Amino acid sequence: MLRTALTVALGLAVAPLPALAATAPPAASAAPPPATADAPRGFEVRDLVSLDRVSDPQVSPDGKRIAFQLRETDLDGNRGINSIWLVPADGSAPARRLTAKGVSSSAPRWSHDGRALYFISARGGGGPQLWRMPIDGGEPVQATRFALPIGAYALSPDGRHLAVAFDVFIDCAADLACTKQKLDERSASKQTGQHYDQLFVRHWDTWKNGTRSQLFIARLDAEGVAGDQLTWISRGITGDVPSKPFGGDGEWAFSPNGDRIVFAARTADRSEAWSTNLDLFIAPIDGSRAPENLTAANEATDTAPVFSPDGRTLYHLAMKRPKFEADREWIIARDLSTGAAREIAPEWDRSPSALMVSRDGRTLYAIAQSMGQRPLFAIEVASGKVRDLTGQGNVIGASIAADTIAFVADSLAGPAQLFALGARGGNERRLTDFNRERLAHVRLGDFEQFSFAGANGETVHGYIVKPWNLAPGQRYPVAFLVHGGPQGSMANAWHYRWNAQTYAGAGFAAIMIDFHGSTGYGQAFTDSISGDWGGKPLDDLKLGLAAAAAKYPFIDANRACALGGSYGGYMISWIAGNWPDGFRCLVNHAGVFDTRAMGYMTEELWFTEWEFRSPVHDDPTLYEKWNPANHVSKWRTPMLVIHGALDFRVPYTQGIAAFTAAQRRGIPSEYLHFADENHWILKPHNSIQWHDAVKTWLKRWTAPGAPSAP
C-alpha cells in the first residue's frame, strides 16, 4: 500500500522523493536558493514550479509496458511541455523518453496490438494532430491531417477506427473545412461583436463562439493512419462531446468488438447553464442510426461509461439529484439487451471516479476520496465487496490491461510517481523516481492527520504540515489553509497551487481542516454545507485551529493568517466579518464576496442555485444570510486580494469588490491582478509572483512585534 517514500506513517519524518531522470535546472533568474548537503533548506515555489509531473499512465495490451506523460517546465517560455515516456511494468529498467524534448506531446494511447503508441502533438505546425510511433524504434508518423485541431480521441479495440472530437459549427456537420473557413472569416472581420440568445455566454475562461465539441469516427488504414472521411456520431445532439470545460475521453467507450460507442452529453438547450443532466448515448460507429439515450429517465449526471468484456453490460457512474454537481456518484450496471439497471456496492458511501474493469469482468476499479486519502479501490461486481488497494496517498490516474494496473499517486510527502501492481492487488512496485536531484537538499515538513469534535460534536479531520526547521522549544506562526469547492478536501495530496509544503518551507505550520461539506467522509457530511456556507464550516475552522493549538505546542495561534481560494476565498471574506479577531492577516484568492451578485454573474448557475436552494430572483434568503458583503462594517483584518481577469467561475469583479471594501474601511490591503489567468494561477512565473506576494504578506503580519488588526 504505497510502501515507499511517497507514503510515510503519519507523524513520522517525511523523506523527499528521489528521481531517476531530471530536466535541466531552472533559469538562474528563477532559481531556488542554494543549498548544500551540510545546509538543507525548506521547500519553496521555485522548487514547486520546476518539478517534473507524471500523469496519464497507460498499460500496454499485454500488461508488460507502461507509457505515461511527463510535464517539464520551460521557465524561459513560461509554460509546461509534455512528453511521452515508457517503462517496463516489472521495473526491470528505468523509464526512457520516447518523444523529443521541447516539443509538446500528450495523451499516449496504445495501438490494439501493442506495437505502437499514438499521441497528440502540434509538431507538424498545423495545430494538435494525432501521431503514431512504433514502440521498438522509428520516427513518429503523422496519423491525422484534419482541418481542425483534435480535442480528444480514443482508439477502437480492434484498431480499425478512431473516435475524435472537434469544435465545429453544427451547420457545418462533418465538413471541418467549413468550420475553419467560418472561423478564419470571423478572425479577419473588422466587426467583433458576438450575438447570444441563450446561456452559456462564457464558460470557465472562454467566451463561447458558437462552436460545439462533437464526436466523429474516422477509419484507420493498415498503417494506422486516418483518412479524411468522417462519420458524425453525435449528430442531432447540440451539446458538447466531450463535455465542457474539463471533459475528455473518459466520457466515451467503444464496445469490445468496436461496432458501437457510448458517450456522455448534455443537451445544449436554454437550461444548459443550470443543468447537470449529462446522459449516456449509444450509437453504431457507422452512423446508420441516431444516438439512443440510455439514461433519459435520470435527470442528473450519467457519465464514465465502460463495457464489460463480453459487451453485454455497460457500467457507468450516476448521480441522483439534478443540479447538484457534488452529489454521490453511484456505480450502475446496465444490461444492454433489457435495459435493466442495478447499483453495485450501494452501501459504499463514497463517490468514485475513473471506472475500469478487469479482463475477466468480475472486478471494477475506481478512485475515490476516503478519510483524507484518495486510494484506488477494487469492487467485486457480484457481491459489491470493496477493497482499498493503495492505502495512503492521492491516486490521480490509473489504467489496467491484462493483469497489470498502473497508477500515478502523490502525497503531502512529495510529487507524483508511477506505480504498478497486480490486478488483484499486491506486488506493488514504484517505477519512477523523478525530481530526486532537485529535492536532494530540500527538507520537507513532517505531516500528520488529526481529528477533533467539530460542529454539532461531530468528528472532523485535518492535517498539519510542520515547519521544515522545527526545533524543540520554538514556536511558529500558522498558515491556515481553507480549501475551495466547497465540496473538496485539503487531503494527503501534492498540490501545485495550494501546496502546504511551500508554507512549511517558509517557517510556518500549515493547518488544513476538512470542515463540514468536505468530500471523502460520506455523502451526508458533504451535503451538510449546502444552505449553510457560513455556519458549520466556520465553527469547524474555529474549533480546528483551537484543537491544533492545544495538540501542537510549537504552534503560535496568535500569529496566524488564513488564506483560501474560490469557496476558500469566500470563507476569507466571511471570516473578515464574522471572526474578525481570529487572524493577523487574510489572503483572499478568487473568492466570492457578494453571494447575491454571484448568483447572476457565475456561468454554471446550477452551483449557486443548489447551494442557496433557489435562483436569486425566486428566493434570495440564503444568498443574503450567508453574504459576506453584509458584514463589511465589522472588517478590520489586513487582507491581500488576488484574482485573474479570465475567471468566469468567480468573476474578478468579486475580488475588486472585496478590495474596495477593505480600502474604504481603511484596512491595510493590497490587490494582485493577473490579466492572463483564470480561476487558477497556471503560468510558472505568475505562480512565482503569487507565492512571493503571499509569503511576503504573511511574514509582514506574523513577524514578532508585527501590529495586530486595527
* Weakly modelled stretches of the chain, pLDDT under 70: 1-38, 709-710
Rounded Cα–Cα distance for residues 40 and 543 (Å)? 35
Between CA 645 and CA 655 the distance in angstroms is 10
- pLDDT value at residue 37: 53
Looking at residue 706, its pLDDT comes to 84
DSSP state of 170: G
The rounded distance, in Å, linking the Cα atoms of 526 and 119 is: 38
**Cα–Cα distance measured from residue 82 to residue 303, given in angstroms and rounded to the nearest whole number:** 27
Active site (annotated) includes residue 566: yes
Q: Distance between CA atoms of 41 and 33, rounded to whole angstroms? A: 8
43 CB contacts (<8 Å, ≥6 apart)? 439, 442, 443, 444, 445, 468, 501, 502, 504, 505
Question: How many other C-beta atoms lie within 10 A of the C-beta of residue 60?
Answer: 24
Residues 6+ apart with CB under 8 A from 526: 326, 328, 351, 487, 517, 518, 519
Residues in CB range of 468: below 8 A, 6 or more apart:
41, 42, 43, 443, 444, 445, 501, 504, 505, 507
* Cβ proximity of 245 and 688 under 8 Å: no
Tell me what pLDDT residue 29 has. Answer: 44
The amino acid at residue 624 is: E
Query: What dihedral do alpha carbons 101, 102, 105, 106 form, nearest 10°?
Result: 90
What is residue 206's three-state secondary structure? Answer: strand
370 included as an active-site residue: no
The set of cell numbers assigned to 11 is 507523524
Q: From the candidates 316, 399, 647, 669, give the one annotated as an active-site residue.
A: 647
Amino acid, single-letter form, for residue 126: G
The Cα 635–Cα 579 span in angstroms is 9
First to last CA, the chain: 50
Give the list of residues 6+ apart from residue 276 with CB closer than 8 angstroms, or none: 266, 300, 301, 319, 322, 323, 324, 325, 606
| Run of H or E residues at 203 | strand 202-203
- CB within 8 Å of 704: residues ≥ 6 apart: 559
Quick one: three-class SS letters along 604-644?
Answer: CHHHHHHHCCCCCCCCCHHHHHCCHHHHHHHCCCCEEEEEE
The crossing angle, in degrees rounded to 10, of helices 652-664 and 567-578 is 20
Residue 679 designated active-site: yes
Strand partners, 546: none
Catalytic residue among 203, 495, 516, 679: 679
Closest CA to 398 of 319, 304, 307: 304
Options 566, 573, 669, 687, the catalytic residue: 566
Which residue from 506, 552, 559, 544 is spatially nearest to 693, judged by alpha carbons?
506
Give me the CATH topology for the region 443-702: Rossmann fold (3.40.50)
- Say how many C-beta atoms besides its own lie within 10 A of residue 598's C-beta: 23
Specify the pLDDT at position 34: 60
Q: Can you give the pLDDT at residue 427?
A: 87
pLDDT of res. 30: 56
pLDDT for the residue 426: 82
DSSP per residue over 438-458, as a string? TTTTEEPPPEEEEEEE-GGG-
Cell of 248: 475528455
Q: What is the pTM of this model?
A: 0.94
Q: What is the pLDDT of residue 677?
A: 98
Helix (H) or strand (E) holding 397: strand 394-401
* Number of Cα atoms under 13 Å in the Cβ half of residue 144: 33
Domain boundaries, the chain: 443-702
How far apart (Å, rounded) are the C-alpha atoms in residues 264 and 241?
7
**Each residue of 13-65: pLDDT tens digit?**
333 333 333 333 333 345 666 655 568 999 999 999 999 999 999 999 999 99
N residues, the chain: 710
Instruction: Say if CB 166 and CB 148 are below 8 A apart.
Output: yes
pLDDT of residue 32: 63
Q: Which of 609, 556, 616, 562 shows the shortest CA–CA distance to 589?
A: 562
Q: Rounded distance, CA 404 to CA 66, Å?
A: 9
